[in-house]
């Protein structure tokens, strides 16, 4: 093959490479497959991610073509886009849904994608742990009747007049889980003031593209469910406990076998001071309730546990 032919072939490959957002998703499908939970088919997840890019407002470009705002945002900053998808994949959540929002936001005058775990994503993580039978999360509107007295009521009493054409403005939101044995978890109740405080601390909340603007009730639900996640096991926390329990069983088994093993004198030189390292395990990340999908440290720890689980299986 001549140099001219090689150059022509390379140029053709570059020209035919699919650099569209959907093409980028496909080209990184192997990376997503590596971090996806085992119960999710990578091919299905990739198709969902590609389809999510086609949703939302469409914009007509200067060349006459039409693209969605998500496609434009993904092209503007592919690294941020792919990072958001990788995050959704590791959590095993469906991108572009209420499990995991893909939201365009304006950064220095151009759109970029912001990935946000939705309330259904938190609920999905709780269900995967296997410790709960159901999750209840509801918004309370001004015309609803709502009563909850901690220590008196096990669960909130929420009465809705379904005949009303307008239930009024959002007033409260609550969430709780029913555990596998029928017991009720901690009940989380947030009022408007608490929600507004959460919203003010949320990245990009004031953007016109933010789910706080486009899906406000869902974000109220997400705020309550996220607080509930601190009190209910999630999949990553559950995996950590399984690994810990497995380690304890292995240690006990080894100890029981050791009691039957003969004693062997290896001599004074069997051990060297150089082979002994003193140390302690330090966990300086004190996160109430365990795993939080929006906490970077929790995610890093979870990834390490997932790798350990994969190696042990």
pTM: 0.68
247: left (phi over 0), alpha (psi -120 to 50) or beta: alpha
- pLDDT score of 123: 94
Rounded distance, CA 47 to CA 96, Å? 11
Place of tokens 């150089």: 274
Instruction: Please state the rounded mean pLDDT for residues 66-92.
Output: 93
Q: Which of 167-171, 239-243, 272-276 has the highest mean pLDDT?
A: 167-171
Q: Output Rg (C-alpha) for the chain, integer angstroms.
A: 26
In this predicted structure, the answer to whether residue 199 has a pLDDT above a threshold of 90 is yes
Spatial contact of 26 and 85, defined as CB atoms under 8 Å apart? no
Contact 173, 195 (CB under 8 A): yes
Using alpha carbons, list the distances in angstroms from residue 168 to 64, 162, 164, 194, 217: 43, 12, 9, 19, 13
Q: Which residues pair with 141 in a beta bridge?
A: 170
| pLDDT level of residue 133 (50, 70, 90 thresholds) | very high
Give 275 or 215, the one with higher predicted confidence.
215
pLDDT at 33: 95
pLDDT band at 310; cut points 50, 70, 90: low
pLDDT at position 214 is 87
Banded pLDDT at 107 (limits 50, 70, 90) = confident
For the purposes of burial, counting CB atoms within 10 Å of the CB of 7, is it exposed (0-12), middle (13-18) or buried (19 or more)?
exposed
Report pLDDT for 271: 38
Indicate the helix (H) or strand (E) that contains 147: strand 145-147
Confidence of residue 124 (pLDDT cuts 50, 70, 90): very high
- Listed residue (176, 216, 175) closest to 195, CA to CA: 216
The per-residue pLDDT for range 13-50, each reduced to its tens digit, is: 444 456 788 999 999 999 999 999 988 999 999 999 99
């Amino acid at each position: 093959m001549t140099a001219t032919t090689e150059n022509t072939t390379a140029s053709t490959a570059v020209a035919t490479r699919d650099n569209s957002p959907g093409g980028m998703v496909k080209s990184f499908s192997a990376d997503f497959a590596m971090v996806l939970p085992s119960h999710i088919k990578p091919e299905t997840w990739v198709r969902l991610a590609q389809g999510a890019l086609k949703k939302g407002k469409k914009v007509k470009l200067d060349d006459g073509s039409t693209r969605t705002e998500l496609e434009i945002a993904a092209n503007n900053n592919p690294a941020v886009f792919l990072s958001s998808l990788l995050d959704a994949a590791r959590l095993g959540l469906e991108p572009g849904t209420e499990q995991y929002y893909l939201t365009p936001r304006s950064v220095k005058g151009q759109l970029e994608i912001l990935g946000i775990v939705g309330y259904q994503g938190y609920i999905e993580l709780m269900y995967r742990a296997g410790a709960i039978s159901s999750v209840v999360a509801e918004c309370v509107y001004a015309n609803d009747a709502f009563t909850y007295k901690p220590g008196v009521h096990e669960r909130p009493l929420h009465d809705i007049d379904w005949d009303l054409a307008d239930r009024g403005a959002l007033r409260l939101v609550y969430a709780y889980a029913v555990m596998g044995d029928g017991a009720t978890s901690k009940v989380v109740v947030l009022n408007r003031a608490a929600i507004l405080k959460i919203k003010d601390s949320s990245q990009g909340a004031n953007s016109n593209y933010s789910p706080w603007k486009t899906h406000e009730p869902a974000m109220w639900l997400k705020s309550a469910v996220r607080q509930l996640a601190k009190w209910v096991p999630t999949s990553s926390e559950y995996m950590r406990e399984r690994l810990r329990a497995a380690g304890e069983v292995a240690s006990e088994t080894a100890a029981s076998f050791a009691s039957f093993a003969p004693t062997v004198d290896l001599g004074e030189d069997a051990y060297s001071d150089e082979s002994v390292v003193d140390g302690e395990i330090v966990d300086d990340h004190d996160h109430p309730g365990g795993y939080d999908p929006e906490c970077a440290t929790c995610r890093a720890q979870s990834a390490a546990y997932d790798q350990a689980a994969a190696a042990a299986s």
